[in-house]
Amino acid sequence: MSPTFCSGRCSTALFLVISAVPIAYLISLELAVPSTHVFSYQSSGFFRECAKWDDVGRRFLVSFMDGGGVGEIVPKDSDDVLEEVTLVKDVDLAGNASLGIVIDRVRNRLLVAVADLLGNRYSALAAYDLSTWRRLFLAELSGHSKEKTFADDVAVDEQGNAYVTDAKASKIWKVDVNGKLVNTITSPLFTPPGWYNNLVALNGIVYHPDGFLIVIHTFSGYLYKIDLTNGDVSNQVTVIDVSGGTLRFGDGLELLSPTKIVVAGSSSSKLVESSDGWRTASVTGWFSSGMVHRLVSSATVKEGRVYLNHIVGFGSKKKHILVEAVF
């Protein structure tokens, strides 16, 4: 056998062995059964960024990261695999991703962050009527600026104002109840030292009933409190002093109570608590579904139980999972 022939065959064999290792690892992860309750559903796409429980509609609402849109998953009494039904698919937003969503129950609408996933050239906020799915407004946030932006998540206050995080340019857009861009919240604190800490910046966001926002900075793990009640909001940004563990790579946030939030993320999601109005906080619980290859991105609460959305679907039927988190 010639050295050249041997070299070619050996290289091919080595490649097959090396590639088989991660494939085998993925298969083992996929075959593992989470220890908590799981909702499984078949989908039209491989990537679902955010899921929120609609208590009135008795359904999960999910955002389509690949191609944009919104769907619903209606639970059944059995543990059968559920079906995703498409509710929104806007032609004029085709090619953009639908990302963070929030239900504005008072005004019976769903707010959806929309962004150009790969080029970061377009960011917007869309609002839809929860009964008819008529689009109420589309607020373009990126405008005609050449700055790269990425509208990632959204929260809504009691007056119907929406706050949209920019995971690329480290800012927050404020959009009023009618869809008008009011202003932009910026702060030097939103840009921690080190370029590597800002590859994915401001991400998950929630509104606290005491009149402030809580926001996670994904790559640094910083957690911010932004007071909305005192004048210039940009001067009301503080870093919450978090003890008991890092929040690095945190993604979506869910407010469980005035003193508790869930920080969803891979490879584990965390329960964070505060007893002083979110001046300081502590990590008090951890949960991992074991499905690290599916990438946890958001959390929601269904009848007192926390469920974690996993971005990636698998198989020919693109099966996705929502896993109960027990901290």
Sorting pLDDT into bands at 50, 70 and 90, what band is 17? very low
Q: Which residue has the tokens 């119907």?
A: 160
At residue 20, what are phi and psi to the nearest 5 degrees? -70, -25
> Quick one: pLDDT at residue 4?
40
> Quick one: pLDDT at residue 8?
52
pLDDT tens digits for 41-85? 999 999 999 999 999 999 999 999 999 999 999 999 888 999 999
Question: Mean pLDDT across the chain, nearest whole number?
Answer: 92
| Calpha distance 126→136 (Å, rounded) | 8
Cα–Cα distances (Å) from 297 to 113, 175, 209, 300, in that order, read: 14, 24, 24, 11
Sorting pLDDT into bands at 50, 70 and 90, what band is 12? low
Predicted TM-score (pTM) above 0.75:
yes
Sorting pLDDT into bands at 50, 70 and 90, what band is 185? very high
Residue 192 CB neighbours (<10 A): 17
| Calpha distance 139→161 (Å, rounded) | 12
> Quick one: pLDDT at residue 18?
43
pLDDT tens digits for 129-149? 999 999 999 999 997 778 999
- 57 with 109: CB under 8 angstroms? no
| Calpha distance 42→295 (Å, rounded) | 17
Q: Which residue has the tokens 């706050």?
A: 163
